[in-house]
């Protein structure tokens, strides 16, 4: 395998070869995402943070990390089972999940409105919001409350903070903070309406953007 590790061409050669066989021998980010039925960006977040017990890759190639089947397939099976238990494949999200999302959004908004947001507090608040995407990755887009949760989970991406680690987030320009506050302002009223609808105090048509 060493001869194939010189760059992206070698990595893609291995993936192509593996795809032609009945049993996959190697996995990249894209292959893991395809098997789990989630977005590649979500798998990238798991890999960067080694969250959900994700094992470190066996190889770090120029085109990205690579795992052997023996390393990653047990984790894939466990994660697939866990995801299926955590989320409903269709229909509205549970009241518990909506309340959890509201708390996380409120916490992020509170940090964003600090005179100078502390990156040590901002980073976990952003991470908590991003993780909402894990619970809505497979559901359909027909339910407005589910769409709202995906919008909230995508907030860090919308303001350009998703690729920043804790150190990078310490250097926050005024435009980034302003965009973060604006997105919180946009999403908070929608969350209030969604919670009202779920509690029987509002119109379901009011939950969409």
- Per-residue pLDDT tens digits for 43-92: 887 888 777 789 999 998 888 899 999 999 999 988 888 777 655 555 67
Half-sphere exposure at residue 162, Cβ-oriented, CA atoms within 13 angstroms:
18
Model confidence pLDDT, tens digit, residues 129-181: 888 877 665 555 567 888 888 889 888 888 777 544 544 445 566 778 888 89
pTM for the whole structure: 0.53
**CA-to-CA dists, residue 166 to 29, 122, 126, angstroms:** 22, 9, 10
Helix (H), strand (E), coil (C) string for the chain: CHHHCCCHHHHHHHHHHHHCCCCCCEECHHHHHHHHCCCHHHHHHHHHHCHHHCCCCCEEECCEEEEEHHHHHHHHHHHHHHHHHHCCCCCCCCHHHHHHHHHHHHHHHHHHCCCCCCHHHHHHHHHHHHHHHHHCCCCCCCCHHHHHHHHHHCHHHHCCCCCCCCCHHHCCCHHHHHHHHHHHHHHHHHHHHHHHHHHCCCCHHHCCC
Nearest C-alpha neighbor of 128 from the set 40, 32, 49, 34:
49
Q: What are the strands of the beta sheet with 26-27, ordered from one edge?
A: 26-27, 64-68, 59-61
Q: What angle do CA 180, 147, 169 make, to 5 degrees?
A: 25
Task: State the CB neighbour count (10 A cutoff) for residue 128.
Answer: 16
Please name the residue that has the structure tokens 């098997």.
35
pLDDT given at position 181: 92
Model confidence pLDDT, tens digit, residues 84-141: 765 555 567 778 888 889 999 999 999 999 888 888 888 888 888 888 877 665 555 5
Q: What is the mean pLDDT of the chain?
A: 76
Tokens of 202: 């509002």
Higher confidence at residue 19 or residue 50? Answer: 50
User: Across the strands, what pairs with 68?
Assistant: 26
Higher confidence at residue 37 or residue 10? Answer: 37
């Amino acid at each position: 395998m060493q001869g194939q590790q010189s760059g992206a061409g070698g990595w893609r050669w291995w993936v192509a070869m593996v795809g032609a066989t009945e049993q996959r021998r190697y996995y990249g980010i894209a292959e893991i995402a395809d098997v789990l039925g989630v977005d590649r960006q979500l798998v990238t977040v798991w890999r960067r943070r080694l969250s959900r017990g994700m094992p470190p890759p066996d190889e770090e190639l120029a085109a990205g990390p690579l795992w052997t089947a023996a390393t990653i397939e047990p984790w894939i099976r466990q994660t697939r089972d866990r995801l299926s238990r955590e989320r409903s494949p269709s229909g509205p999200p549970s009241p518990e999940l909506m309340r959890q999302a509201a708390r996380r959004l409120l916490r992020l908004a509170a940090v964003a409105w600090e005179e100078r947001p502390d990156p040590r507090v901002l980073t976990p608040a952003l991470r908590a919001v991003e993780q909402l995407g894990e619970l809505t990755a497979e559901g359909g887009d027909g339910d407005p409350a589910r769409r709202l949760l995906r919008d909230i989970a995508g907030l860090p991406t919308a303001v350009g903070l998703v690729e920043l680690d804790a150190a990078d987030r310490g250097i926050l320009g005024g435009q980034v903070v302003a965009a973060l506050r604006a997105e919180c302002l946009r999403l908070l009223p929608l969350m209030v309406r969604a919670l009202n609808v779920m509690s029987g105090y509002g119109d379901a048509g009011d939950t969409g953007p």
